[in-house]
Structure 1
Amino acid sequence: MTQHVLFFAPHWGSAHLDRDDFIRQVKDAGFDGVEMSLPMDVAERDAWVKAIADAGLQLIAQQWETVFHTDFNDHKQALAELLLNACSAQPLFVNTHTGKDFYSFAQNSELLDLADNISAETGVPIVHEIHRSRFSGHPMLLLPYLQQRPGLALNADLSHWCCACESLLEDQPLTLEKVFPHVRHIHARVGHSQGPQVNDFRAPEHAIALQQHLTWWDDIVTLRRAEGASYITITPEFGPAPYTQTLPYTNQIVSNAWDLNVAMMQLLRARYAI
């Protein structure tokens, strides 16, 4: 049985911090590692990788910047460059935002093939994030790829599907049964039927949404343990504004994303302790 559940702090929302200050914050909070998009500048990338390792932390590399590339050829070129840059750091794995929901099945499949080839060449696993507007933006968009690719590895950020399906997916248990065996990483953010992030998962009005997400994560962790995975990785990923809601006129945030991520890490660390 797997005994190691590793918790990663997202760099998203903390990019305003100096590198050393951010790493110190991660260590002080009790995370096991960092999940971040690495700079394309080689010297700056290597400085981040060294600082993370020197702090005794693990690294999950991320790429999301292909969101800015809508033309397919541009998107493909950017994906290759970003994935190669991420893999060069030799992280635990790379979490990628892949494709577009308006690309054809053949085009998105070409991008998945590209990621497979880069993973094989570099020896770094690559997982594809469930995310709105990507190839996986809705359950019915994703299922055909799973049928064709039994080895497709996913990062489960199910908050996006809550938003896309305008529900807590109560009517899609069979769909989730097909998806969960492909999950290799979890983004632990609580969504709701009208958005990808509740304002504070600890508030009583979000108890139902929290419990639904906990049930999904429990199922995934149970599957990974049954498979004998050497570790399970979870990144609490509550994000800054506009993911964090703000008050009108003042734009004052109603909750602190970092505090939510630390609280979620603590909740899940206690929940999955053996």
Structure 2
Amino acid sequence: MTAEILIFAPHWGNAHLSREAFIKRVLKAGFDGIEMSLPMDVAERDAWVGAIADAGLQLIAQQWETVFHGEFGAHKQALSDLLRNGCAAKPLFVNTHTGKDFYSFAQNSELLDLADSIAAETGVGIVHEIHRSRFSGHPMLLMPYLQQRPHLALNADLSHWCCACESLLEDQMHTLEKVFPHVRHIHARVGYSQGPQVNDFRAPEHAVTLQQHILWWDAIVAQRRADGAKQITLTPEFGPVPYTQTLPYTSETVTDAWELNVAMLGLLRARYQK
């Protein structure tokens, strides 16, 4: 059976739109669903979940707000609250920004155990995003966790490692080969050696960088198909300022993040839904 390819629209960068306007925008572009951080207010959360379902769209819940909690105890409590809120919506899964790169191995492991227990309790899968400043912020930070946790599920946003490692990871393929079997979701954003987002991935000066990301995504999609996955999920995730670069003095954005996400949607459909 061929795996179903599902491509999600990021809510990130669209908070200025009403719920109805954003869902209309998503449908017009042709996405299969929405990836978003859900409101903690139960009524507002349920309104979003209902509207997304009524539109015939799928949902990936996201939590990134633990970035605001540096003290370990506060971070752990926030992670618990935010993951439970996301799982309560019964999404396809929850994508989480977990831990800190300055927490100890034992502390980050405690947070991963917490996520495992919430996933088991709710029946909703949880994937941990590869992201700067988190427990997975650099390939060598992540390796010890993979060695101890053979079933650790990841969201591959490799643009962050390009930035963290100041390269296109040309000399780390042996490491990536250990990571790819753990990937359950892809954030399809194109990063480069000096930042997590090129200004326009279609520009000829970024052709080599784009091709490298595509090769990684190809390998992950092939791995998921070989593993017999029923669905393969991807989210184009070009973000707003400061991810989107601006001109000096005027702060005018040089590209439109939503337009880039729609363009990436087209690239992914053409490549993986042949």
TM-score category, normalised to shorter length: over 0.9
**Partner SS for 1:77:** helix
**Structure 1 residue aligned with 2:53:** 53
Identity %: 80
SS of aligned partner of 1:271: helix
Which residue number in structure 1 is paired with residue 44 of structure 2?
44
Structure 1 residue 106, shift from structure 2 partner: 0.1
Q: Distance in 1 between matches of 2:11 and 2:248?
A: 27
Name the amino acid aligned to 1:31: F
Secondary structure of 1:8's partner?
strand
Q: Distance in 1 between matches of 2:250 and 2:214?
A: 33
Deviation at 1:138, TM superposition (A): 0.1
* 1:171 equivalent in alignment to 2:182: no
Structure 2 residue aligned with 1:35: 35
TM-score norm. by structure 2 comes to 0.99
Distance 1:85 1:18 in 2: 21
Q: What secondary structure, in the 3-state scheme, does the structure 2 residue paired with 1:234 have?
A: strand
Give the match's secondary structure for 1:115.
helix
Where structure 2 has 5 or more consecutive residues not aligned to the other structure, the ranges are: none
Where do 5+ consecutive residues of structure 1 fail to align? none
Shift of 1:3: 3.3
1:98 and 2:98 equivalent? yes
* Aligned-partner Cα distance in 1 for 2:130–2:11: 19
Separation (CA, whole Å) in 1 of partners of 2:57 and 2:67: 28
- Cα deviations across residues 24-68 of structure 1 (Å, max 9, x unaligned)? 000000000000000000000000000000000000000000000
Write the deviation string for residues 179-218 of structure 1: whole angstroms up to 9, x where unpaired.
Answer: 0000000000000000000000000000000000000000
Aligned residue in 2 for 1:221? 221
Q: Residue type matched to 1:200 in 2?
A: D
- Distance (Å, rounded) in 2 between the aligned partners of 1:242 and 1:75: 24
Counterpart secondary structure, 1:232: strand
Distance in 2 (CA, whole Å) between partners of 1:86 and 1:232 is: 20
Q: How many residues align?
A: 274
1:68 alignment counterpart:
68
SS of 1:137's partner is: coil
How many Å separate the matches in 1 of 2:184 and 2:234? 9
Matched, 1:188 2:194: no
Task: Report the secondary structure of 2:192's partner residue.
Answer: coil
Question: What is the correspondence of 1:222-241 to structure 2 with a 5 Å cutoff?
Answer: 222-241=222-241
Q: CA-atom RMSD, angstroms?
A: 0.5
Q: Secondary structure at the match of 2:6?
A: strand
| 1:13-162 equivalent positions in 2, closer than 5 A | 13-162=13-162
CA distance, structure 1, for counterparts of residue 149 and residue 239 of structure 2: 31
TM-score, structure 1 length as denominator?
0.99
Partners of 1:111 and 1:38 in 2: how far apart?
20
CA distance in 2, matches of 1:39, 1:128: 20
- Secondary structure of 1:249's counterpart equals coil
CA distance in 2, matches of 1:23, 1:2: 28
Alpha-carbon shift at residue 273 of structure 1 (Å): 1.4
Whole-angstrom distance in 1 between the partners of 2:9 and 2:90: 18
Which 4+ runs in 1 deviate beyond 6 A? none
Distance 1:171 1:134 in 2: 22
Q: CA deviation at 1:2?
A: 2.9
Matches of 2:178 and 2:186, distance apart in 1: 16
Does 1:259 pair with 2:259?
yes
